[in-house]
Amino acid sequence: MSKTIVVTGSSSGFGRLVSESLARKGDRVYATMRGVEGKNASVAETLKHWAAAEDLDLRVLEMDVTSTPSVDAAASQVLAESGAPDVVINNAGQMFVGITEAFTAEELMNQLNVNMVGIHRVKRAFLPAMRERGSGLFINLSSIAGRFGVPFYSIYHASKWAVEGYSLALRTELASSGIDVVVVEPGPFTTELFPGMQRPVDAGRRAGSYPEVVHETFAAMEGMFEGLFRDPSIPTDPDLLADRLVELVEMDAGSRPFRSVVGVDFGVQARNAAVEPFDHEVLEAAGFTSFATLKAN
Please say whether the beta carbons of 293 and 175 come within 8 A.
yes
Task: For residues 77 and 267, give the distance between their C-alpha atoms in angstroms, rounded to a whole number.
Answer: 42
Q: Kindly list the catalytic residues.
A: 11, 142, 156, 160
User: b vs e for 106-135, b when ≥16 Cβ sit within 10 Å of the residue's Cβ?
Assistant: ebbebbbbbbbbbbbbbbebbbeebbebeb
Eight-class DSSP state of 115 = I
Angle formed by the axes of helices 13-24 and 41-54, nearest 10°: 20
- In 113-152, which residue ranges form alpha helices assigned H by DSSP? 118-133
User: b vs e for 244-264, b when ≥16 Cβ sit within 10 Å of the residue's Cβ?
Assistant: bbbebbeeeeeebebbbbbbb
